[in-house]
Structure 1
Amino acid sequence: MKLVNTHKLLLFLLLQVVSMVALAQPKWSLQQCLDTALILNKQLRMAKNNVAQREQLLKEAKAQLLPKLSLNADYRYYMDLPTQLLPLNIFNPQVPAGEFKEAQFGVPHTINANLQLQLPLYSPQAYGAIKQAGLFTELADLQVLKSEEQLLYEITGLYYNAQILQHQLLFLDSNLLNSSKLIQNITLLKEQLLATGTDLRKVYLQNTQLQTQRELIQAKLFQVLEYLKLSIGIPEDISFRVDPIQEPVPAPAYDVQIPLDVQIIQQEKKLLEMELNTLHRSGKLPSVNFQAFYGSTGFGYHQQPSPFLKFYPLGYAGIQFSYPIFNGTITKRKITKKQLEISNNQLQEQFLTDKMQAELKNTNRQKQVLQKAIMTSREQLDLAKAIYDQTLLQHKQGLANLTDILLADNAVRDAQQQLLTSWIDLLKADLELKKITSNLN
Structure 2
Amino acid sequence: MKKIYLLVIVNLTFCLPKVLFAQSTTDTVVTLKQCIGFALRNQPVLRQAEIDEQINERNIRISLADWLPQLNSSNEYLHYFKGSPVTSANPAVVSPIDEYSSLGLQASQVIYNNDVLLAAKSAKYSRLYYKQNTVSSQINVVSDVSKAFFDVLLSEKQLDILNEDIVRLQRSLKDAYNRYQAGVVDKTDYKQATISLNNSIATRKQTQEAIKSKTAYLKQIMGIGADKNLLLSYDSTRYVSEATIDTNQQLNYNNRIEYQLLQTSKSLQNLNVQYYRWSFLPSISAVGAYDLVYLNTKFSNLYSNDYPTLYAGVTLSFPIFTGTKRLQNLSKARLQVDRADLDIVNSQNTINTEYVQALSDYKSNYTNWQLLNQNVDLAKDVYKVVSLQYREGIKTYLDVIIAQSDLRTAELNYYNALFQLLSSKIDLEKALGILNVQ
Q: TM-score range by the shorter chain?
A: 0.7 to 0.9
2:404 is the counterpart of 1:404 = no
Residue type at the aligned position of 1:271: L
Of 31, 34, 50, 1:32 maps to 34
Q: Is the 8 A contact 2:99 2:302 kept in 1?
A: no
What secondary structure, in the 3-state scheme, does the structure 1 residue paired with 2:289 have?
strand
Residue type at the aligned position of 2:268: L
In 2: Cα distance, 1:214 partner to 1:104 partner: 108
- Quote the offset at 1:260 in angstroms: 0.3
Q: Identical aligned pairs, as a percentage?
A: 19
Aligned 1:176-191 pairs, distance under 5 A: 176-191=166-181
For 1:270, the equivalent position in structure 2 comes to: 267
What secondary structure, in the 3-state scheme, does the structure 2 residue paired with 1:293 have?
strand
2:136 is the counterpart of 1:146 = yes
For 2:340, the equivalent position in structure 1 comes to: 345
Of 15, 18, 30, 2:17 maps to 15
2:281 is the counterpart of 1:281 = no
Q: Is the 8 A contact 2:359 2:428 kept in 1?
A: yes
Unaligned runs of 5+ in 2: none
- Quote the offset at 1:22 in angstroms: 7.9
For the pair shown, which has the larger CA radius of gyration, 1 or 2? 1
What secondary structure, in the 3-state scheme, does the structure 2 residue paired with 1:347 have?
helix
Q: Is the 8 A contact 2:355 2:431 kept in 1?
A: yes
In 1: Cα distance, 2:96 partner to 2:330 partner: 52
In 2: Cα distance, 1:22 partner to 1:373 partner: 37
- Provide the alpha-carbon RMSD of the alignment: 3.0
Residue type at the aligned position of 1:110: Y
For 2:312, the equivalent position in structure 1 comes to: 317
For 1:329, the equivalent position in structure 2 comes to: 324
Unaligned runs of 5+ in 1: 92-102
Alpha-carbon spacing, 1:66–1:105, altered in 2? closer, same or farther (3 Å): farther
Range 139-148 or range 59-68, more displaced: 59-68
For 1:50, the equivalent position in structure 2 comes to: 52
In 2: Cα distance, 1:369 partner to 1:227 partner: 27
2:198 is the counterpart of 1:208 = yes
Q: Is the 8 A contact 2:294 2:302 kept in 1?
A: no
1:314-337 deviation line (CA, Å, top 9, x unaligned): 332211111112111122222222
1:101-131 deviation line (CA, Å, top 9, x unaligned): xx99963211111111111111122111222
Aligned 1:218-367 pairs, distance under 5 A: 218-244=208-234, 245-246=236-237, 248-249=240-241, 251-253=244-246, 258-283=255-280, 285-302=281-298, 310-367=305-362
In 2: Cα distance, 1:38 partner to 1:159 partner: 15
Alpha-carbon spacing, 1:22–1:194, altered in 2? closer, same or farther (3 Å): farther
For 1:129, the equivalent position in structure 2 comes to: 119
For 1:164, the equivalent position in structure 2 comes to: 154
- Quote the offset at 1:416 in angstroms: 2.3
In 2: Cα distance, 1:397 partner to 1:353 partner: 66
- Quote the offset at 1:413 in angstroms: 2.6
Q: Is the 8 A contact 1:139 1:264 kept in 2?
A: yes
- Quote the offset at 1:256 in angstroms: 5.0
In 1: Cα distance, 2:38 partner to 2:283 partner: 51
1:218-277 deviation line (CA, Å, top 9, x unaligned): 111122222222222333332222234446345242675510000000000111101111
Range 334-343 or range 353-362, more displaced: 353-362
Of 363, 368, 379, 1:368 maps to 363
1:175-234 deviation line (CA, Å, top 9, x unaligned): 110111121122212323444445433322221221121111111112222222222233
Aligned length: 424
- Quote the offset at 1:43 in angstroms: 2.0
In 2: Cα distance, 1:22 partner to 1:182 partner: 32
For 1:98, the equivalent position in structure 2 comes to: none
For 1:78, the equivalent position in structure 2 comes to: 80
What secondary structure, in the 3-state scheme, does the structure 2 residue paired with 1:80 have?
coil
Q: Is the 8 A contact 1:26 1:239 kept in 2?
A: yes
Residue type at the aligned position of 1:423: L
Q: Is the 8 A contact 2:100 2:302 kept in 1?
A: no
TM-score, reference length from structure 1: 0.87
Q: Which runs of 4+ in 1 moved over 6 A?
A: 306-309
